[in-house]
Amino acid sequence: MAIVTGPTRWHFDTNTPLGSNYQSGRVICKSGGVTWIVALSTTEVSRTWYCRNDAVTTAQSASGYTGWFVPNCNQLANPGELCRTYWDSYCPSPDVYWSDTTNWAGESQGIAVRMGSGFVAYNKNHARRVRAFRCVTY
């Protein structure tokens, strides 16, 4: 029996291959008993950093499942960017995705991941792509 981080529980088949559709998301990484799932591209939003959690609301509404979150900058880099070939669709470098991390050097900036080249700081008022993730343990 697998559980999602959060209140929802369901069975997860550990033989599910990377890139497979799984309950309104795509399996992008399995490591150490944790399966990482990225929400489908149809739930991706373009928002300012302040409205980034709209991606969570959109994924939850489209899927009917809870446990979605906007990853922090480290999670968005790995497994997010590292395993982006398993997303149902993604924009190749240099598209930028907001993380849930505030820039440690200044409150007016958030940390995003530029696909293919790593972390970047942007003014939180700029709209960037946001995709929700969730984790399932097995």
Percent of the chain having pLDDT more than 70? 88
DSSP tag of 44: -
Q: CA 2, 55, 26 angle in degrees (round to 5)?
A: 45
**Residue 59: predicted pLDDT:** 97
Percent of the chain having pLDDT more than 90? 70
> Hey, is 105 helix, strand or coil?
coil
CATH number, domain 2-137: 3.10.100
Q: Which helix or strand (DSSP H or E) is residue 75 part of?
A: helix 73-75
Given pLDDT bands bounded at 50, 70 and 90, which one contains residue 27? very high
Whether the model clears a pTM of 0.75, i.e. scores above it, the answer is yes
Which residue reads 């970047």 in tokens? 120
- For all residues of the chain together, what is the average pLDDT? 88
Given pLDDT bands bounded at 50, 70 and 90, which one contains residue 93? low
Where exactly are the structural domains of the chain?
2-137
